[in-house]
Amino acid sequence: MSQFGEQIAIREGARLSQELLTHYPESGGELAAMWAPPGTGKTSLLVTIAGRVAYFDNAKKRLMKETVVWKGREEDNWHLIQGKKICVHVFFGDDISFLDTSGNPIEVETLRYNTGYEIAQNLKRGWVNIVYEPRHYSMDEELLEEIMESQFLDTRPKRIPGAFFIYEVIYFIKKNKNPDEFVTVIIDEADHILRLNAKNPQRHFQDWFRDSIVRDLRKTKMSFLIAFHDSRTVDWTIIEKIMMRIYLKAALIPKDSELRMRRSSVKPGHYMIEKYGRFGIAKYDKIDTNNMVIAR
Ligand SMILES: Nc1ncnc2c1ncn2[C@@H]1O[C@H](COP(=O)(O)OP(=O)(O)O)[C@@H](O)[C@H]1O
Ligand SMILES: [Mg+2]
């Protein structure tokens, strides 16, 4: 890239990153998808973003820390999030400990829930809320009925993968949150809830999620950020609704993207970002993701 082109890319990258990180009542939430092969820095970037997302409060006339919902994984890095308080939501019947890699417990405030609805009620405002799905999940009846109706399903699915609990949490937050409140949902390694050619009932859940949830999340002041390894394995009908894209090193970039020609310029610690034909490049800090929290 020419020096001039690079300056423009850095400036536009900073602007787009601002749109990802800072939400305004007029523009609503932001939907973003990030993909790149393992080990390229996705989780690090998500950790950085979780600590920084903010919204502008029109009444107070200032930026406020935005509430984050983070889907917890067995091996995760949420304890490295800086700048916000962190709590975990754990199902009443489950006994989960959070340990560092040497087996020492990690101190974290734990909230118990019975239902996805309760998580929505108990969200800590301005905090990062880590959500661990129940070990044995059965979907909320009200939600299941809504999905069955909208998807013309006659028979009740026998078993619903626990990973879909996050859909339930998003559904209840969207439905019950205060209309002025902003919430960002972050899902790392989202491949398994956006599977390409998913079989039923998963197919129906994904279709419902796309048509009933993703479509108007932004308007309800919710943001949604997902990361996955390989865009060839995910449900593209959902990704298509997500206009902001973030690519790290060695990401497969769609043919129609302006960034495809520039992919060799993404170095470790940088990302390319685009939205509706605008595109740029930006930097972020290194995080030691070998420093893990283990949930078991
Ligand atoms: N901004 C950065 N600059 C340099 N190295 C980074 C940066 N972010 C992450 N890394 C390193 O890259 C490796 C993989 O990061 P990670 O976030 O776990 O990747 P992924 O989630 O894509 O597998 C880690 O060793 C991490 O320290
Ligand atoms: Mg990762």
Give me the pLDDT at residue 5, please. 83
Mean pLDDT of 263-270: 84
Query: Residue with the nearest Cα to atom 17 of ligand 1?
Result: 41
CB distance 189 to ligand 1 below 6 Å: no
Architecture per CATH, 3-295: 3-Layer(aba) Sandwich (3.40)
**Ligand 1 centroid, distance to 41 Cα (angstroms):** 3
Digit-coded pLDDT (tens) for 166-196: 999 999 999 999 999 999 999 999 998 999 9
Q: What is the mean pLDDT of residues 275-284?
A: 94
In the prediction, which pLDDT does 6 show? 85
Of 79-93, 150-164, 235-249, least confident by mean pLDDT is 150-164
Q: Per residue, what are the HEC states of the chain?
A: CCHHHHHHHHHHHHHHHHHHHEECCCCCCCEEEEECCCCCCHHHHHHHHHHHCEEEECCCCEEEECEEEEECCCEECHHHCCCCCEEEEEECCCCCCEECCCCCECCCEEEEECCHHHHHHHCCCCCEEEECCCCCCCCCHHHHHHHHHHCCCCCCCCCCCHHHHHHHHHHHHHHHCCCCCCEEEEECCHHHHCECCCCCCHHHHHHHHHHHHHHHCCCCCEEEEEEECCHHHECHHHHCCCCEEEECCCCCCCCCCHHHHHHHHCCCCEEEEEECCEEEEEECCCCCCCCCEEEC
Residue 1 confidence (pLDDT) above 80? no
Find out whether the beta carbon of 269 lies less than 6 Å from any atom of ligand 1. yes
- How far is residue 91's CA from residue 116's CA, in Å, rounded to a whole number? 9
**Is the per-residue pLDDT at 154 higher than 80?**
yes
pLDDT given for residue 258 in this prediction:
83
CB of 286 shorter than 6 A to ligand 1: yes
Q: Residue 206: its pLDDT value, please?
A: 94
pLDDT surpassing 80 at residue 265: no
Q: Is 284 in the pocket of ligand 1 (CB under 6 A)?
A: yes
Residue 289 CA to ligand 2 centre (angstroms)? 8
Confidence of residue 153 (pLDDT cuts 50, 70, 90): confident
Mean predicted lDDT score pLDDT of the chain: 94
pLDDT, one tens digit per residue, over 34-76 is 999 999 999 999 999 999 999 999 999 999 999 999 999 999 9
Per-domain boundaries in the chain: 3-295
Question: Ligand 1 centre from 101 Cα, in Å?
Answer: 18
pLDDT tens digit string along 199-253?
Answer: 888 899 999 999 999 999 999 999 999 999 999 999 999 999 999 999 999 888 8
Mean pLDDT to the nearest integer, 252-269: 84
Compare 140 and 75 and report the one with higher pLDDT.
75
**Whole-angstrom distance, CA of residue 38 vs CA of residue 45:** 13
39 lines ligand 1 (CB under 6 A): yes
* Average pLDDT over every residue of 1-23: 90
Question: Is the pLDDT at 152 greater than 80, yes or no?
Answer: yes
pTM above 0.85, yes or no: yes
Which atom of ligand 1 is least distant from the CA of 77? Answer: 18
Mean pLDDT, residues 90-95: 96
Ligand 1 binding pocket includes 29 (Cβ within 6 Å): no
DSSP class of residue 29 equals: -
